[in-house]
Structure 1
Amino acid sequence: MMKRTPGVLATLVASALFLSGCAGTGTGSGTDVFSGQPKAEPAATTAATPEPIDGDLDGDGKLSEREKELIAKRSYTLLDGTVVPTPKQGEAIPAEIAADINTRADGMVEGMAAGSNDDELAFMKFVDDESKRLSRKIVIVAPVFDGICGCTVWTSWLTTGPVAEPTSSKEASTAAAEAFAAKTPSRYAVVVFD
């Protein structure tokens, strides 16, 4: 059995500390052990805000298989059979697409304004489907029946919830929807249903 003396052990510990860079001036690992030169300070990095990805509906920064399929289609067929290119995220929806969506939703919007829950549910599904076709969420501006006042009011909302308080003015609801969509134009598009 070999007996180690305290001096040998101290030498081993000192050597290990020196080689690991823990010993020296007391400032930590400021000197490169092998070259004796001061270590370079790491460059400061700033986390850049990633640009929105075209076609990223849920805004998670990556494209799902469904989002990739939607990007591949990149065209929109109107009721009259005309095919128009789907706008890229951040671009305004062409007037002919907005008019087509509005025309196809006409009966449902009239039903919602009269207080029909069935029409409201059908309209919400319709808007969700159109959002997928356009690769962005539609901010709805439409008249709906308000059971509290017993009247029709204008609202701006997503299918998941309101964007602003209901008003008696189509213009005020449109302005609220446009202000909301302008915050993230790559994800939202306003369609006024009247």
Structure 2
Amino acid sequence: MSRFTVTETGIQDLRVIERRRLGDERGFLSRLFCAEELASAGWDQPVVQINHTWTQARGTVRGMHFQHPPHAEMKLVTCLRGRVWDVGLDLRAGSPTFLHWRAVELSADNGRALLIPQGFAHGFQTLTDDCELLYLHSAPYAAQAEGGLSATDPTLGIEWPLPIALQSARDLRHPAVTEEFTGLDLHS
């Protein structure tokens, strides 16, 4: 019996993972990751890094972050506390959904995760104060491969559910998409 339900988002390879909780009067157990079961959802690489973030204030936006090939990474993002609006943005060169995005609410209560494939940018907005996220990565962070796009770029049209209360100085410096940006070539 699978511990996960996988839902398509309408963008190839970007998937919502719902975890089955086994509970009783003590509480519940939820499997966060299983390579064997998540292989059918597209997770086909080892987990090489796990990161934990805390964001203090409601309305904060982090993103839109990615790593350039050959350091492109898959992420499995889970909310451990609070609620976030989690966004995956397709940056794959030649993709029929290039520059399209999808968002899903992740929360400690709903147990969902977003599986973000290689070639996507990722960002989120906190819907509550005190949000904690857990990220599983298929590639280690590589500073020289770091990339980002403006979370408020009208070309992307990301619909943040709340007014943006806070962004880091680094995220505010991320550029808007230009005509020269043709996407991330994952096959070179």
Regarding TM over 0.5, the answer is: no
Question: Larger radius of gyration, structure 1 or 2?
Answer: 1
Which one has the bigger strand percentage?
Answer: 2
Q: More relative contact order in 1 or in 2 (CA 8 Å, sep 6+)?
A: 2
TM-score range, shorter chain: under 0.3
